[in-house]
Amino acid sequence: MNGNPNFETELADYRAKHVPLFNNQPLKFGVFSVNASGNIFMTKAPTSYEISWEHSRDVARLADDLGFEAFIPVGRFKGFGGETNWNGEVYETLTYAAGIAAETKNIMTFSTLIAPLVHPVLAAKALTTIDHIGGGRAGLNLVMGWNMPEMRMMGTELREHDDRYGYGADWVKVATKLWTEEGISDYHGKYLDLEGLEAMPKPIQPRPVILNAGASPAGQDFAAQYADLNFASFTTPDQAKRYVASIRGKAAEYGRTIGVVTLVVVVCRDTEEEAKAAYQAIIDHGDWEAADNFMSGVSQQSFAEHLKKEYLAKSVAGSGGHALIGTPEQIVDGLKEIKECGIDCVLLGMLDYKKELKYFGERVMPLLKQAGLRI
């Protein structure tokens, strides 16, 4: 995507030295969705979690102090109904990431953008600004758009599935031109036809890190060509291994490498019984209407009826993320298995981030070092 034939080599060298998600930690960590009500849980279970700037700032600082590599908000404009209107109270992510960047020291601060709702010229400028605020720590979680009510609210069409990734390719190419090329240029693509492109200053990084969750054939092909990290979901270790091999193989076909990130729900307590009880409380207090709305939006309605309750429960208790429930030792064993699947970074989902992140730092992080998962 850049005219410099040595760009990818120079980018890799820079990132290994300066960008947290490319450091030498065996397993990298982040937190996800601290900017939206309920975060990843569709439940009324008690928690101190809230949508306030002070709360987000405190969670980000705690993750930063623990040495985590990524802080990633979710991109939402509309809630999913039910008793909680899950994710209906939410901070916009460019402004949010700028604030988090100013309040932290080392952790990468991502913005989650829905490509058809944010013009790439504006996005490139905003992400460059965030990169300067944070001293070179900006990241982009690029989403193609799937939630029809959100798109209708914005008066924007929802393209056919594969066309969404075609538009995304044009979007990334334009942003990359603005980040990496000097002077003024035009862009003539299938979906975007733009004249007189220019942008100064450039990011501190050669270009911000790009994350994408494409999992369909078209989505994987997009991620393999344009993303640095692919957000993957899995149900079993064997399925995870197959997926990691597939996405890395596709990236190799384009002469690229790609990292793999996954969401892991962590419910960790002193005893297994306590952890299981805490997890069950999340389900017992579930907002099943919101979960059903969410599943319908992501095309989960294709599941057989006898599986629907199982997947609704996974949505309630963590938006479908892989769940680790147990003692600190059991959590480490589970994270070790995830690492052995080839996954590079785990985004932790916790019902009560402030309380549970502290516990994770005190009880789990030392064991991760003993297990060789952290240095």
- Find the Cα–Cα–Cα–Cα dihedral 134, 135, 137, 140, rounded to 10°: 70
Q: Beta 322-326 vs 259-268: how paired, if at all? A: parallel
Show pLDDT as tens, one digit a residue, over the chain (375 residues): 556 768 888 999 999 999 999 999 999 999 999 999 999 999 999 999 999 999 999 999 999 999 999 999 999 999 999 999 999 999 999 999 999 999 999 999 999 999 999 999 999 999 999 999 999 999 999 999 988 889 999 999 889 999 999 999 999 999 999 999 999 999 999 999 999 999 999 999 999 999 999 999 999 999 999 999 999 988 889 999 999 999 999 999 999 999 999 999 999 999 999 999 999 999 999 999 999 888 876 654 333 444 455 667 878 988 888 999 999 999 999 999 999 999 999 999 999 999 999 999 999 999 999 999 999
What are the counts of helices (DSSP H) followed by strands (DSSP E) for the chain?
14, 11
Amino acid 260 reads V
CA distance 73 to 96: 8
CA distance 320 to 311: 7
Residue 221: helix, strand or coil by DSSP? helix
Residue 8, pLDDT score: 85
CA distance 336 to 17: 25
| Interior/surface letters 300-319, b for 16+ CB within 10 angstroms, e for the rest | beeeeeeeeeebbbbbbbbb
Backbone phi, then psi, for 179, in 5-degree steps?
-75, -30
Q: In sequence order, what are the beta bridge partners of 188?
A: 193
CA distance 266 to 201: 40
CA distance 213 to 347: 13
Judge residue 3's burial from the number of C-beta atoms within 10 Å of its C-beta, 0-12 exposed, 13-18 middle, 19 or more buried. Answer: exposed
Asked whether the beta carbons of 350 and 274 are under 8 A apart, the reply is no
Angle subtended by helix axes 237-253 and 217-226, to nearest 10: 60
Domain assignments of the chain as residue spans, ordered by start: 7-366
Q: Which fold has domain 7-366?
A: TIM Barrel (3.20.20)
Residue 234, pLDDT score: 87
Residue 320, pLDDT score: 83
Judge residue 86's burial from the number of C-beta atoms within 10 Å of its C-beta, 0-12 exposed, 13-18 middle, 19 or more buried. Answer: buried
Closest CA to 60 of 100, 113, 94, 89: 100
Asked whether the beta carbons of 25 and 19 are under 8 A apart, the reply is no
- DSSP H or E run through 270: none
Residue 297, pLDDT score: 65
Strands (E), the chain: 28-32, 70-72, 108-114, 138-143, 185-188, 193-197, 209-212, 229-232, 259-268, 322-326, 345-349
Q: Give the chain's radius of gyration (CA, Å).
A: 20
Residue 252, pLDDT score: 97
Number of Cβ within 10 Å of residue 133's Cβ equals 18
Residue 217: helix, strand or coil by DSSP? helix
Residue 304, pLDDT score: 41
Asked whether the beta carbons of 326 and 112 are under 8 A apart, the reply is no
Nearest 5 degrees, angle CA 52-CA 57-CA 61? 155
Judge residue 2's burial from the number of C-beta atoms within 10 Å of its C-beta, 0-12 exposed, 13-18 middle, 19 or more buried. Answer: middle
Residue 307, pLDDT score: 42
